[in-house]
Amino acid sequence: MNYASQLLFLVCLAVAGYFLYKRINFIRRNINLGKPEKRNDHPEKRFKNMLLFAMGQKTMFDKPIVGVMHFVIYLGFIIINIEILEIVLDGILGTHRLFAPYLGGLYPVLINLFEFLAIGVIVTCVIFLIRRSVLKIRRFWAYEMTKWPRSDANIILISEILLMLAFLSWNATDTILQQRGAEHYAGLNTGPFLFSQFLMPIFNGWSTEALIGYERFAWWFHILGILAFSIYVTYSKHLHIGLAFPNVYFARLFPKGEFKNMPVVTNEVKLMLGLPTDEVQETAAQENTPIPAEPGRFGAKDVNDLSWKDLMSAYTCTQCGRCTEACPANITGKILSPRKIMMDTRQRMEEVGRSLDKGGPGLGDGKALLDDYVSREELLACTTCNACVEACPVAINPLEIIMELRRYMAMEDAKVPGAWNNMFSNIENNMAPWKFSPADRFNWADKLKEEKQ
């Protein structure tokens, strides 16, 4: 590789790094629109969860066949990064297969492993494309999965296939050039490799100049494709490749069915009833949610009313649809889709972020997550059963966002169904959802005794 090629590679690397840096800062700023919340307690347990769910993909194996296929792609992505490191160093230093002389006989073993994973990725991506575009699995064609989300998934799958094919054909032509002793390839004897050797007959009749041209094209296509891919995923649902790890690490540790009260409300109620508030104050301090002097907003109307963790979860959403597939409300034909809630939250964040970048009003644009993105009909359909939370492979909790939006509807906007208001009144007056008082609660049992006598 000559100096011009090295310079060109450095420019490409710098440009990709610049756009990636800008995009990461954009996402970080959007996540920080959320309210502060402490999520760093019990680090050992959090790290263990991250290993099981993000790295080990424990939940994915609830569906074993799909789980194995997804793990192949994931493993390929992780391990092939070693190969990418060599390519990047070759591009910077102007070398060719830099690690080969140092690794000796281990080098072909590693490349064979990479090729095995590349074949696994190609086969798996083809199967996933068939599932999405030919078999049209229902959860990939729900109403919220509009043209862009479907196209996004296909772009990623097709890109991975092309990148792996470039890697294999590059190895094939490189091996032939080594055998011919061509300049820049002489002195190496790394191949033939496990799978790319079957592509070598396609190129054997080519001239050395043509082989060098194609080998360089495949090399550049592979590395530039990976750089472009790294930027594209920050716009894609595949951002979970990076965010799944922190999202699982910062997932809440208390039971999924447990709902958190608002400290400010609990504090006011206890003060009104003359009860001690020390426990409330202590809990608020532990959770890094100090009780404000003024109540502020009850629940959430827009993204800045949610916690930063809820906003991170929206960016982490894989749009796999497992949550919606498990949702009983959605199964019975209601409009609620937990996946759509997460997609809407991310879309709202992106819109606010773009507005801020342009010097616009940001959150003051006259829109809000509630009503403009998520309808009240969707929120009212939720049964708070936690099925969506249990189903998510990356520890996303759509129910937290749903409950915060419903809190705003009930406590601040005061626009909920009449039956809800009746229930609230009954709980306030009778300490039960029903009209009768606690003293009358077991009258049915007395009547039953009378009938038996």
Q: Angle of helix 147-180 relative to helix 208-232, nearest 10 degrees?
A: 150
Distance of CA 367 to the CA centre of its chain: 25
Which residues have a Cβ under 8 Å from the Cβ of 118 and sit 6 or more positions away?
A: 76, 80, 164, 167, 168, 195
Q: What CATH number did the domain enclosing 369 receive? A: 1.10.1060
Same domain, 341 and 370: yes
| Residue 23 belongs to domain spanning | 3-31+63-249
Write out pLDDT tens, residues 418-429.
888 888 888 888
The residue type found at 116 is F
Burial class (CB in 10 A: 0-12, 13-18, 19+), 145: buried
3-class secondary structure, 76: helix
Same domain, 178 and 195: yes
pLDDT of residue 400: 94
Using CA atoms, how far apart are residues 163 and 225, in angstroms rounded to an integer? 7
Same domain, 282 and 140: no
pLDDT of residue 354: 95
Number of domains in the chain: 3
pLDDT of residue 183: 79
- For the chain, the maximum distance between any two Cα atoms, rounded to a whole number of angstroms, is 105
pLDDT of residue 443: 76
Assess if residue 132 is contained within a domain: yes
3-class secondary structure, 35: strand
Same domain, 307 and 338: yes
Assess if residue 199 is contained within a domain: yes
Assess if residue 99 is contained within a domain: yes
pLDDT of residue 52: 84
pLDDT of residue 293: 62
Same domain, 148 and 71: yes
Which residues have a Cβ under 8 Å from the Cβ of 254 and sit 6 or more positions away?
A: none
Using CA atoms, how far apart are residues 113 and 439, in angstroms rounded to an integer? 72
State the first-to-last Cα distance of the chain, in angstroms, to the nearest integer: 100
- pLDDT tens, residue order, the chain (453 aa): 578 899 999 999 999 999 999 999 999 999 999 998 888 888 999 999 888 877 767 777 777 787 788 878 777 777 777 788 999 999 999 999 999 989 989 999 999 999 999 999 999 999 999 999 999 998 899 989 999 999 999 999 999 999 999 999 999 999 999 999 887 787 788 879 999 999 999 999 999 999 999 999 999 999 999 999 999 999 999 998 889 999 999 998 888 788 877 777 787 777 777 777 776 666 666 666 666 666 678 889 999 999 999 999 999 999 999 999 999 999 999 999 999 999 999 999 999 999 999 999 989 899 999 999 999 999 999 999 999 999 998 889 999 999 999 999 998 888 889 888 888 888 888 878 888 777 776 777 777 777 776
pLDDT of residue 269: 77
Same domain, 167 and 286: no
Q: Residue 374 pairs with which residues in a beta bridge? A: 370
Sign of CA dihedral 297, 303, 304, 310: positive
Assess if residue 39 is contained within a domain: no
Backbone angles phi, psi at 21, to 5 degrees: -60, -45
Mean pLDDT of the chain: 88
Same domain, 81 and 117: yes
Instruction: Give per-residue burial for 187-216: e unless 16+ CB within 10 Å, then b.
Output: ebebbbbbbbeebbeebeeeeeeebbebbe
Same domain, 78 and 227: yes
pLDDT of residue 317: 95
What pTM value is reported for the model? Answer: 0.87
Closest CA to 90 of 267, 222, 263, 247: 222
Same domain, 227 and 297: no
Closest CA to 309 of 397, 214, 404, 392: 397
Same domain, 214 and 269: no
Residues comprising the chain, all counted: 453
Q: Is residue 101 reached through a cis peptide bond, with omega within 30 degrees of 0 on the bond before it?
A: no
Write out pLDDT tens, residues 272-281.
777 777 766 6
Same domain, 359 and 424: no
Can you read off the two tokens belonging to residue 326?
């498990």
Domain boundary among 215, 249, 283: 249
| 378 in Cβ contact with 341 (< 8 Å) | yes
3-class secondary structure, 78: helix
- For 355, the enclosing helix (H) or strand (E) is helix 338-357
Closest CA to 112 of 89, 77, 160, 79: 79
Assess if residue 114 is contained within a domain: yes
pLDDT of residue 54: 74
Domain boundary among 249, 278, 293: 249
Domain boundary among 201, 219, 249: 249
CA angle (435, 427, 258) in 5-degree steps:
135
Same domain, 320 and 438: no
Can you read off the two tokens belonging to residue 142?
């729900």
Q: Is residue 417 reached through a cis peptide bond, with omega within 30 degrees of 0 on the bond before it?
A: no
Assess if residue 49 is contained within a domain: no
Assess if residue 89 is contained within a domain: yes
Assess if residue 378 is contained within a domain: yes
The residue type found at 204 is N
